[in-house]
Amino acid sequence: SKEKGGNSYHYYHPDMNKRSLHKLNLEIHLRKALERGEFRLLYQPLVDLKNGTIRGMESLVRWQHPEWGMISPAEFIPLAEETGLIVPMGNWILKQACLQNKAWLEQGYNPLCVSVNISAIQFHQPQFVSVIEETLQESGLDPGLLCLEITEGVAMNSGPHVMETMDKLKSLGVRISIDDFGTGYSSLSYLKRFRVHTLKIDQSFIRDVTSDEDNAAIVTALIAMSRQLKITSLAEGVETREQLEFLLAQGCDEIQGYVFSKPVSAQEFEEMIRQNKQL
Ligand code: C2E
Ligand code: CA
Ligand code: CA
Ligand code: CA
């Protein structure tokens, strides 16, 4: 980090100062944001390519600051991870997502699986599995309707602790998705060992899948591999009809992206399922 200097003397750099002040300011506000109820969840549909219907939704957190407006997770999640605030924040997100999914089920909508992003810091907490268990109990949600999105980096770090946690989660009955698949170290033997439910093919491969032959080859191979391993393939960041056609032709199972819907408020999402929105 830029703050590392040891004993060495360095000049005061005005830009650096501004940046660390900004960060400090952000951190102070972030600490208060949870108790002030400034976080909210958006939901983005996950769509079945076989019949064009909504199968589930990914919850994506936003910080609605009273003066600064909407702040993107790319800005505050890294800071939340650095400060450990991601743990209480992540617990709140999990609870919120489960309660919302349960509420929709009780209103009579078709069962949907809600996906929740789990940070590496959360995953490695000794209490992580019991937090999941408690959240399911408190919300009354069927474990099969909760999916934890874990990045390749976390999941493939195959220490004994990771293996144990993954096994416990599987025996709880929750689903596991490998997020941003293709961007980290992939271990195919690992996929076989854990039988994860879904591989989310990273949007960087999808972006120019119709113009870049290499990306097309990678995506084709990932979809074929998923099918062989009986793992659901999901393409992230699908924006165009052309990308959709390509994925359909390759036999991809599910998609997520602006071509169907951007992430929306709970209210707007409910409107979509009420109207049975289809691809
Ligand atoms: P991610 O988990 O890979 O989430 C997908 C991101 O792609 C979201 O950005 C989503 O809005 C965006 N996206 C969806 N469809 C499209 C598309 O068609 N085109 C493009 N260009 N983008 C699309 P978002 O919401 O800004 O989130 C960014 C990242 O922040 C997430 O990446 C995830 O790593 C993190 N994040 C978001 N919510 C949470 C959370 O609740 N907990 C944790 N730990 N991390 C979160
Ligand atoms: Ca995700
Ligand atoms: Ca992703
Ligand atoms: Ca990502």
pLDDT for the residue numbered 160: 78
Q: Which residues pair with 57 in a beta bridge?
A: 45, 114
Q: Does the CB atom of residue 182 touch ligand 1 within 6 A?
A: no
Helix, strand, or coil (residue 45): strand
Cα–Cα dist 83/89, whole Å: 11
- Tell me which residues have their CB within 5 A of the ion that is ligand 2: 117, 149, 179
Cα–Cα dist 116/141, whole Å: 14
pLDDT for the residue numbered 182: 84
Inter-axis angle of helices 213-228 and 241-250, nearest 10: 40
Q: How confident is the model at residue 12 (pLDDT cuts 50, 70, 90)?
A: low
Q: Are 89 and 35 in contact (CB under 8 A)?
A: no
pLDDT for the residue numbered 163: 85
ipTM: 0.98
Q: How confident is the model at residue 158 (pLDDT cuts 50, 70, 90)?
A: low
For residues 212, 217, 223, 226, the Cα torsion angle rounded to the nearest 10 degrees is: -140
pLDDT for the residue numbered 11: 55
Q: Give, for 177, the enclosing helix (H) or strand (E).
A: strand 175-181
Q: Does the CB atom of residue 93 touch ligand 1 within 6 A?
A: yes
Higher pLDDT pick, 8 / 230 = 230
Q: How confident is the model at residue 41 (pLDDT cuts 50, 70, 90)?
A: very high
Choosing from 59, 60, 202 the residue with most ligand 1 atoms within 8 A of its CB, the one to mutate for a pocket test is 60
Q: Are 211 and 205 in contact (CB under 8 A)?
A: no
Taking only the tens place, the pLDDT of each residue in 176-232 is 999 998 887 666 777 777 779 999 999 999 999 999 999 999 999 999 999 999 999
User: Whole-number mean pLDDT of the chain?
Assistant: 91
Say if residue 13's pLDDT is above 90: no
3-state helix, strand, coil in the chain (%, to 5): 50, 20, 35
